[in-house]
Structure 1
Amino acid sequence: MNFFFSADYVLPAIGEAVKNGIVEVTDNGVICGIHTPGNPALSGKTIDKYDGIIVPGFINTHCHLELSHMAGVIPKHTGLVPFLQQVISMRAAEERLVQKAMKAADKQLHEHGIVAVGDHANTAISASIKAESRIHYHTFVEVLGFEPELANQKLADAFIIANQFDKKTTSITAHAPYSVSKELFKLLDDEATKQQMPLSIHNQESEEENRLFRYKNGKFLDFYEALGKDITGFKAQARNSLQTFMPYLSRETPTLLVHNTYTSSKDIFFIERQGRNVTWCFCPNANLYIENALPKIGNFIHYRHKITLGTDSLASNDRLCILSELKTIHQHFPNLPFTETIKWATINGAEFLGIADNYGSLESGKTPGLNLLKHTNGLAITPETEVIRLI
């Protein structure tokens, strides 16, 4: 049996919006097509008509499910380095409590219309939640190791964790430039090439990261000292972190650069000039939570690189909701059309995660999920817009 859903607009993410369009789906959620009003094939069919915009299920390309138990624990606007220090000191908790929080977070993601997630993990504690979830997860097992001599051991430890997840949807990746040595970056790139898997790396979330790489000063020096890390071998690079670590990776390696709050126009042009296979991920609500700052999104949209959206974790966000991220973007960058940013929230993320055959757009044969956005204004979302999951 097929079902028919209609709204003021159907926005398929690929192709043009269809005014008063009708989406036909099977009882298994497979898209059969998008019909225009008045199509004789719809005669006698029961059509569920809504006010608003019908869009594909959302893709959240950056989350940390295993930090869900830290919701509301860390104050806002601390800056990245104090935030990291508090995560390290406060993340330990009873496994029962962590599992309960992750299960609730997984439910929240689903209820907010999210159908797929790129999730960072430092342990295998989220494996059972993901195996039972209605959401498609790609797990990025984070590796941290700033000491060159530990590179091989750090990678071996990551394999132990990665092997507890679904091999087809798991990558081993670098955490961030300030936590991974050149030697480890090169090992991770070799592994990504061998396994044909993408990388997802936190990038320039704080200006302190750029200060570390340009001048070897700032709050990260105190951070390493507090951790007992000896970084005497690290030398100032006289350039930002992105321009330092990206040459350690192959140009063809699919790489998601996450946050980019302090990425400069010169950094963006550096990526463009080198022909890198880079996708930019923005997590605006987390950026405001931690640094009270946003990326200069206008600088990114002039280049060919694609943009995706993430929520980060409940340790740095009030909710795991891609619609909330879209609202923040449109509040601060009102000239951006929703017909463009919907791609950031859907098809671009599906393409980066390698799941665009099934997710990301309303095309025949796909099972992308179906969201209704209520309280919209034509083809624009408003501060009052809500998401209702139809499928």
Structure 2
Amino acid sequence: MNTFFSADYVLPSTGKAIKDGIVEISEDGIIRGIYTPDNPMVSGKAIAKHHGIITPGFVNAHCHLELSHMKGVIPKHTGLIPFLQQVMSLRTTDELQITNAMKAADKQLYDNGIVAVGDHANTSVSAAVKAASKIYYHTFVEVLGFEPELASQKLTAAIGIANEFGNESPSITAHAPYSVSKELFKLLNEESFQRKKPLSIHNQESEAENQLFRYKTGQFLDFYKALGKDITDFKAQARNSLQTFMPYLSLDTPVLLVHNTYTSSKDIFFIERQGRNVTWCFCPNANLYIEGILPKLKNFIHYRHDITLGTDSLASNDRLCILSELKTVHQHFPDLSLTETIKWATINGARFLGIADKYGSLETGKSPGLNLLTHTQGLALTPDTEVVRLV
């Protein structure tokens, strides 16, 4: 038996908002119709009416499930490099503790209306949790290797980890420009082509990253020294990190660039001019947690490339909640419209992950999940808005 849900507005993400709209859902979660209130197809039907906005289930484009046991452990506003140092020292602990934390995080994601996640992993420890989850996960096995001579070895190890995810076919991706050599970037580009899978790369999360690539100065030199890494052969590039590493990748390689906190207008134009297959991902609450600063979002929205939202991990966020990310975006950029940013939270992430045939928008034949945003004001969020999962 099908169920009919209605709210003050239905916001499909790929079409116009429908005032007092109605969504028909089958027992197995497939959308059978979307209607205006005067449509004869809903005449005489029992309709579950709600106050608020009905949206598709959220897509969290960037997360680190395996860091969930670090919730509340690392202080806020440390800056990126001290944060990285603490993650590296704290990530190895009792596996049962890690697993239990991941299970709780997976439930939190689900309860917060998230239906799909792009998740970074350095090990296979999350495989069993993901296999048992109600959420769709695309795993990005993350590779680190700044030493050119270790590039092949690092890729081989990552392939071994990817094979432990069973039937899932993960991507194998670079961690960040400051942790991956040119040689390894090129190998990862080839691997992406062979697997027909996208890449997801942390980008310009700190100004120190740009300083390293432009001038070979800054905090990263001390970071490498503390790790015992010899970067004598690394040369200053006289340009930001983004403009340095992207030419190592093919123009049509699908890449999610994550964080972009210190990405300049020139960097954005560099991507646009080259016509690259790039999607931008912002994790505003994590940016505030670590660096205390947000990307200049308005520099990105006038170009053709899609924008997505992520939560990052519980090591750098209080909640795994895309609604919380939306609320932060609208708090700091109040002139943005929810009819636009809802795409960042749904269909754009689904398109990047290659699952838009099922997720990301309210369209007949799809099963994207159904969220109700409560305590809204027209088509706008308020500080009291919460998400209720309807389907």
Q: Distance in 2 between matches of 1:216 and 1:386?
A: 45
Task: Give the superposition deviation at 1:169.
Answer: 3.9
Residues 131-175 of structure 1 show CA distances to partners (whole Å, capped at 9, x for unaligned) of 000000000000000000000000000001000114554100000
Which residue number corresponds to residue 213 of structure 2? 213
Instruction: Give the equivalent residue in structure 2 for 1:130.
Output: 130
- Structure 1 residue 311 corresponds to structure 2 residue 311: yes
SS at match of 1:379: coil
Which residue is 2:14 aligned to?
14
Shift of 1:89: 0.9
For 1:230-282, what per-residue CA distance to the aligned partner results, in whole angstroms no more than 9, with x for missing partners?
A: 00010000100000000000000000000000000000000000000000000
Query: Structure 1 stretch 83-92 or stretch 119-128: which is displaced more?
Result: 83-92
TM (norm. structure 1) is 0.99
Amino acid at match of 1:79: G
Match of 2:175 in 1: 175
Q: Secondary structure at the residue paired with 2:281?
A: strand
Distance 1:179 1:205 in 2: 13
CA distance in 1, matches of 2:30, 2:206: 42
Query: Are 1:265 and 2:239 an aligned pair?
Result: no
Matches within 5 A, 1:102-251: 102-166=102-166, 168-251=168-251
Which stretch shifts more, 155-164 or 41-50? 41-50
Identify the range of structure 1 (117-126 vs 161-170) with the bigger mean alpha-carbon deviation. Answer: 161-170
Question: Alignment partner of 2:105: what SS?
Answer: helix
Pairing 1:319-358 to 2, within 5 Å after superposition: 319-358=319-358
Following superposition, the deviation at residue 38 of structure 1 comes to 2.3
Conserved in 1, the CA contact under 8 Å of 2:61 and 2:119?
yes
Distance in structure 2 (CA, Å) of the matches to 1:38 and 1:211: 60
Asked if structure 1 preserves the Cα contact closer than 8 Å seen for 2:162 and 2:169, the reply is no
d(CA) in 1 for partners of 2:85, 2:61: 24
Structure 2: distance between partners of 1:16 and 1:40: 20
- C-alpha displacement at 1:39, in angstroms? 1.9
**1:29 aligned partner, one-letter code:** G
Partners of 1:31 and 1:365 within 8 A in 2: yes
- Structure 2 letter corresponding to 1:55: T
CA contact (8 A) 1:118 1:139 kept: yes
CA contact (8 A) 2:68 2:313 kept: yes
Which SS does the other structure have where 1:256 is aligned?
strand
What amino acid does structure 1 have at the position aligned with 2:337?
P
Q: Secondary structure at the match of 1:130?
A: helix
Say yes or no: does 1:42 pair with 2:42. yes
Residue 86 of structure 1 aligns with which residue?
86
Q: How much has 1:87 moved relative to structure 2? A: 0.5
Q: Is the 8 A contact 1:259 1:295 kept in 2?
A: yes
Equivalent residues of 1:207, 1:262 under 8 A apart: yes
Distance, in Å, in 2 between the alignment partners of 1:54 and 1:277 is 31
1:53 aligns with 2:63: no
Any idea what SS the aligned residue of 2:99 has?
Answer: helix
Establish whether residue 285 from structure 1 lines up as the match of residue 258 from structure 2.
no
Distance of 2:346 and 2:145 partners within structure 1:
33
Shift of 1:43: 2.4
- Aligned equivalent of 2:366: 366
Which amino acid is the alignment partner of residue 269 of structure 2? F
Q: Could you say what secondary structure the match of 1:102 adopts?
A: helix
Q: 1:294-313 deviations in whole A, cap 9, x for unaligned?
A: 00000000100000000000
Matched AA of 2:147: E
Letter in 1 for 2:228: G
Amino acid at match of 1:251: L
- Amino acid paired to 2:60: N
Change (3 A) 1:167 1:223: farther
In the alignment, is the contact (CA less than 8 A) between 2:13 and 2:343 conserved in 1? yes
TM-score between the two structures when normalised by the length of structure 2: 0.99
Partners of 1:169 and 1:337 in 2: CA distance: 36
SS of 1:128's partner is helix
Q: Which runs of 4+ in 1 moved over 3 A?
A: 166-169
Amino acid at match of 1:282: F
Query: Tell me, which stretches of 5 or more residues in structure 2 are unaligned?
Result: none
Aligned equivalents of 2:70, 2:299: Cα separation in 1: 33
Tell me, in whole angstroms, the C-alpha distance in 2 between the residues paired with 1:251 and 1:234.
Answer: 24
Tell me, in whole angstroms, the C-alpha distance in 1 between the residues paired with 2:183 and 2:167: 24
**Displacement after TM superposition at 1:90 (Å):** 1.3
CA change 1:25–1:258 in 2 (3 A) is same
The aligned length equals 391
Work out the CA distance in 2 between the residues paired with 1:47 and 1:319. 33
Unaligned 5+ residue runs, structure 1? none
Shift of 1:202: 0.1
Does the 8 Å CA contact 1:137/1:169 hold for their aligned counterparts? Answer: no
Aligned: 1:31 with 2:31: yes
Calculate percent identity across the aligned residue pairs.
Answer: 76
